[in-house]
Amino acid sequence: MDARHVIKIGMSAERRLVVPAERTVGHFVPGMPMVYATPMMILEMELVSGDAIKPCLEPGWVTVGTEVDVRHLAATPVGATVRTTARVIAVERRLIRFEVEAFDDKRRIGEGRHARGLVNVEAFTRRLGSSPPSS
């Protein structure tokens, strides 16, 4: 599959999340504040990037994260709503690049770039010597 034929610059998506205690740095590291953890923010950025292009993918194809360049700008407490966005900024044959941002109720809390690579699930799992996931 060649992404240049189906994915266009400007495609975008948005996700919302009410920050649960299980996604805070304090949940993972005892003694740390109960604020939205950077890896959890990056997870949402990766997921929303996938959401932006998933409808265009041919059956049997998925995208996987390959690059992350993100700054976490502000702390967000449990219970706050986080809105995460992704917008396609470049499309190569098997690589899609995104601009990603995250906002809480008051401000931008994260920004950066992310890239996802196109993967044929069957070929990928065969190379790993495992079975493809069941639908």
User: pLDDT tens digits for 10-60?
Assistant: 999 999 999 999 999 999 999 999 999 999 999 999 999 999 999 999 999
Find the mean pLDDT for residues 61-74: 97
Number of helices (H), then strands (E), in the chain: 3, 5
**CA 26 – CA 21 distance, rounded (Å):** 8
Report CA 91 to chain centroid distance, whole Å.
16
Residue 7 pLDDT = 96
CA distance 71 to 67: 13
Residues 6+ apart with CB under 8 A from 65: 46, 49, 114, 115, 116
Which residues have a catalytic role annotated?
A: 38, 46, 72
What percent of the chain lies above the pLDDT cut of 90?
87
What pLDDT is attached to residue 132? 60
Helices (H), the chain: 25-28, 38-53, 121-128
Full-model pTM: 0.91
Rounded Cα gap, residues 29 and 118, in angstroms: 34
pLDDT category, 108, cuts 50, 70, 90?
very high
